[in-house]
Structure 1
Amino acid sequence: MRKFAIKFIAVFSFALFFCFDIFAAPKKPQKGQEDWRALQKSKDFFEKNDFGTAVKFAEQAKFIRSQNAQWQTYILDETLKNSRVRRAGDSIERVSQVLNELKFTEASKIVSMHIEKHGADFFNGSYSKLIEFISVYAHYPEADFLLGKIYKLEGEYSVALDYMKDAYDYSVNLDIPMEKYDLLYELAELSYDLGNKDDYEKYLLVIASDDSVFTNSSYIDALLHIVNSDSSDSLEKFFLLYRAEDTTGLKAFVKLGKLYMSEAENDKALKFNAFAGILAVTKIESVLMQRINGFKYLNFKTLLAESSGYNDIVEWGIKNDVWELFCDLADSAANSGRIVFSRSLFESLSESAPVEYWKSYASEKIVKAEN
């Protein structure tokens, strides 16, 4: 209750501070009181573990954004009272030209701001759709994201989830679009912590579905064909022939592979682990090429051995569960009956895995398979 009391007081106090006569025209937030300034203050207090003050400024940021959106809507609605603007029709391009000619400076700035961020095509070139969009712009996902983090740290997982969902629903407003994936990972983790495996899977699949290489069915079919051939050279062909560079979704593929393994969905597990393996090898190879003059991929075992010489690569692999992933790939291959591929992978890991635990794990798997 204390947390909610803090939130209520914060919202109420800032609402009083920024409110205006309900019959007056909405006002533009004053310089020095912009939403981003309030958000930065919230972040600063968050870093100091002063969560109560961080909540106060995050709610202030949301309130200012809402007031700014009301003002923007008012300004653009007012332009429609001008006959020249109305005669320009609904084309953003034509309306913008008229706004500039009429020296409707504030309206021109508002239109330019949204066009610069999203492009005219986002609004289908429609001035009215741009005005409608401002009701979406009124939401401040960065502030909701931060509030979600705060409530998560306070152990209020359900409250945190609600804030994170709001942030994701309006992620189109994010100043840094890639933060959408940070949101999705947080949503997946919170869903898992709350015991909702369906949503956990759903959010991870959203991340996976944004990888254009993974969604290329021809690529995935060819990739799995090599694994399924289960020949003596299938492992080396697998890692030699295929690359995928976008590691944004690496953790999602790793987690999904592990999820499907736990549910004995062997085909799915192999598919996600296989692609995650390609992502990991591509990343490691690219770093080694920058570090070692003339380096090129020879075989998986050598790649692992070279990786062991660089602490940052080893730590990256630990942080992203990459060394465990390779063992999961070998396990999921075995579970799907691809015994030769699995054994070849475990043999390479038992000799050259950069982390002793996974090297030992691979060795034990080989021994068990022989008995």
Structure 2
Amino acid sequence: MWLLLWLTLVMLLIGLWAAPNFWERRIYPRIRLEVRVSRDYADPGEELEIRIRVVNPTRLPCPKVRLDFVLPDELAVVGGNGERRVRLDTYLLARQSAELIVPAVAVRRGVARWNQAMLECMDLLGLQQSFLTVYPQMEVIVRPARLAPGAERRLLDGLMGEIRVRRFIQEDPSLFTGVRPYTSRDPLKNVSWFATARTGGLMVKQFGYTTDARIWLLLNGQMGKEQWAVAARDRLDRLCERVRQLAVQLAGEEAEVGFMTNLSDSLGGSTELLPAAGPVQPERLANRLGSLSRYTSCSQAELLQAAGRAKRPGDTVVLVTDYRDAESTRALSMLRQQGCPVHVIDLAPEGGNTRGGGAGEAGDGQSPGREEVMAYGG
């Protein structure tokens, strides 16, 4: 009898020692984490759902699983006052899964990546813990904030004035593209009586433009040493927001908008967007702006030179920057000498001097943070 009790006790101790090791070697490594996001692109303030699924594909149960992670800087938990920590405690039976839905909100521009997480697995008695590294591979691009229209009216009026003058001089008014419903602003001479009789509603003729209004938006990310030492992430966000605002306003004026920058793309994509018209183009541009990093691939002068090679006769260039130096000033002057209209939006912080340390280069005493229609130092 005592021998049987002793053998039972020994077998129990061996089981308590061997079972956690067996689970650690055979069960825990097969636990996997699956993550799905409701959208790939989001604007700041928009909500999205993150579905986290922990799966146990084995024939044995997993007594306790804990997932504790922090959302990327670009996201936050809805209603959490900026809280980004998410925690999941569950248990999994054989071939069972547990799902957690995290309502998140986009906070700031950038690529929200979640490439690695730690799963903590414990046995039923809590005697042994096992930490497992999983790779969810979640990625959401948060685009720049959509600024309210109306800013830079002076610059926009100047750009559209050039386009309207060019169209008035060179436009072919006989390019018929279709008909549309009549509005109170349409002249009666444009009414299509055949289309009106066919549809039963007053219809007017619609004419297209034979003169392209192509505008290149250039985003400069080059900084001076002083700027780089105190460079904040808000700087790049501010530049991207202004570029997106201009793209939306120009697209609303039926202009073809292109984009070029000297910043690197976090996803390894192209940093150039060929000019195109329509409401979809600003959205394409916003997607590109969302994945830009603060590291540059070339200088501002080289960016201007690339724009000079890409432009066609009649194109307009708009440079958005907060930095200037002697080399970029020369490149800007050469671009203007080629007959290309160039407008500069200087977003340098108030009271700051963004000029580089070139020989003979000094501040011009003008207040920064304004629109410029003249060359640097002009």
**Shorter chain as normaliser: what TM range?**
under 0.3
Q: Normalising by the residue count of structure 2, what TM-score does the alignment of the two structures yield?
A: 0.25
Structure label with greater radius of gyration? 2
Greater helix fraction, Structure 1 or Structure 2: 1
Greater strand fraction, Structure 1 or Structure 2: 2
Q: Normalising by the residue count of structure 1, what TM-score does the alignment of the two structures yield?
A: 0.25
